[in-house]
Amino acid sequence: MGRDAFLANLRRSGLLTPAQWSQALELLPETDRGRVAARALVNQGFLTKFQAEQLLAGRRHGFIIGQYRVLELIGQGGMGRVFKAEHRTMHRVVALKVLAPHLLNTDRAIDMFLREVRAVARLVHPNIVTAFDANQVNGRYFLVLEYIDGPNLDQLVRRKGPLPVGQACDFARQVALGLQCAHAAGMVHRDIKPANLLLQYRTDLPGAGGLVKISDFGLARLQGPAEGGDGTLVCKEQTVMGTPDFLSPEQARDLHRTDIRSDLYSLGCTLYYLLTGQVPFPGGTTMEKLIRHGTEHPEPVEALRPEVSPAVAAVVRRLMAKSPEARYQTPAEAAAALAPLAVTGPSSWAALATDPFLDDGETPAPASDPDAGLSSWDESSALSGTAAPGLSAPTPVSAQLAAELARATRERHEEVQRKRLRLALLIATAVVGGLLAAVLATHLWWG
């Protein structure tokens, strides 16, 4: 693209104020190449790399969403796209989540969405991502959330490997504290996993550990909305909400019968991952993973990580108990159990790897519809291949899977009953045998 075409796109984009536009023109180098002009404006701070690449690809609109100017595309998935954005007046940087149109395609779904975000707005806690606003532009609904500049815990483990044991316990403790706030408000997250736990560097306390924040409260129940009462977003039948690697057995069977203890099971799976670098049940299909959560115990965490103490391993096992009654009953209980095991300290992580911007010979991907608005963001143009937290689509569960889960759970229950019966028979046999031996000994003695 030539310089004039690039500047024409930039002028129509609304990214620069008239004063910034005049200043940018004065600072542009003498060139006919759009790529060179774009690189110069990025280096001078007028544009971000993402904005420049989109303009060079032919985009002219969609950079302004309500009062927000889009800076970067953070991630995308089945529920929509997440942008790093800046309020044009306050200059506050936020995370902007533009929801996919199919999630809110009826008046009923929109009404339930608004009820849900009002509930989320009540969650004010250091370990929960703050929700600032919810609005719509041109029929597209978006959430305005606190922007966290650190990685999520999935990214952290993938880059750094298993975390120090004390640090992993501290991160899990912080999540439990956030969940307790939600529990007090009568809310269940339903999709606790490392990718939904964001790490914020503590600039206010040098040397302090990272601050973990739970993201996407209220979004899990937006996937596949259906008619329901009591102001609750209800998912369609035969849809499992959540991620198979971190899903509680009861949530796999029936989403609507879950409570905060289901989130605690997912927290246990997350702590398992932070300590070992692998999910509790690696390999296999979605169906196999869901069945194993309900019928098998994972390899002990201390077998994979010998330095894990018996006390830490016991917390993991209790969090991941098959029966909700056998787990901690509230997040506060889990946080109290983790507190003596937690170690706070400085956290470090590598910056997200990005390709060099617009090297000579690099050609931006063309825009499919340069004049389109919000809907024009092409998923292939994402800078990151990782779906943003909370934007993954629901895990579909077929009738076959539902039947298989029920069958596996029934078989496990029957096996437990058979083991109990065998144990009772052995005890009874031992008791009867002991009595007979006593009688025989008495008879011989007196005989």
CB 367 within 8 A of CB 57: yes
pLDDT of residue 233: 32
Which of these ranges, 31-35, 37-41, 355-359, has the smallest mean pLDDT?
355-359
Question: d(Cα 442, Cα 445) in Å, to the nearest integer?
Answer: 5
- Show the DSSP H helices in 61-106 as ranges: none
Compute the average pLDDT of residues 16-26: 91
Residue 375 has a pLDDT of 40
Looking at 57-66, 192-201, 255-264, 363-372, which range is the least confident one? Answer: 363-372
What's the rounded mean pLDDT across residues 20-42?
A: 91
| CA nearest to 61, candidates 381, 375, 372 | 372
Tens-digit pLDDT profile for residues 397-420: 444 555 565 566 566 656 656 766
Report the mean per-residue pLDDT for the chain.
79
Residue 321 pLDDT exceeds 90: yes
- The torsion angle over the Cα atoms of residues 224, 228, 230 and 232, rounded to 10 degrees, is -10
Give the C-alpha distances (Å, rounded to integers) separating 23 from 13, 26, 156, 301, 407.
17, 5, 40, 59, 70
**CB contact set of 162 (below 8 Å; sequence gap of 6+):** 168, 274, 275, 276, 277, 305
Cα–Cα dist 224/113, whole Å:
12
pLDDT, mean of residues 131-143: 86
pLDDT beyond 90 at 275: yes
pLDDT above 50: residue 230: no
Q: What angle do CA 29, 31, 32 make, to 5 degrees?
A: 145
User: Looking up tokens 């690697």, which residue turns up?
Assistant: 245
Structure confidence at residue 351 (pLDDT): 44
Is 261:329 a contact under the CB 8 Å cutoff? yes
Q: How confident is the model at residue 39 (pLDDT cuts 50, 70, 90)?
A: very high
Q: What is the pTM of this model?
A: 0.76
**Helices 399-446 and 286-295, axial angle in degrees (round to 10):** 30
Residue of 32, 111, 154, 191 marked active site: 191
Unique residue bearing structure tokens 């560097």? 201
Phi, psi of 144, rounded to the nearest 5 degrees: -110, 115
Position 98 scores a pLDDT of 87
Which tokens in the block code for residue 443? 């008879």
216 is catalytic: no
**pLDDT score, position 303:** 96
Report residue 226's pLDDT band, with 50, 70 and 90 as the boundaries: very low
pLDDT tens sequence across 76-128:
776 788 999 999 999 999 999 888 887 777 887 777 778 778 877 888 999 99
pLDDT of residue 370: 37
pLDDT band for position 367 (50/70/90)?
very low
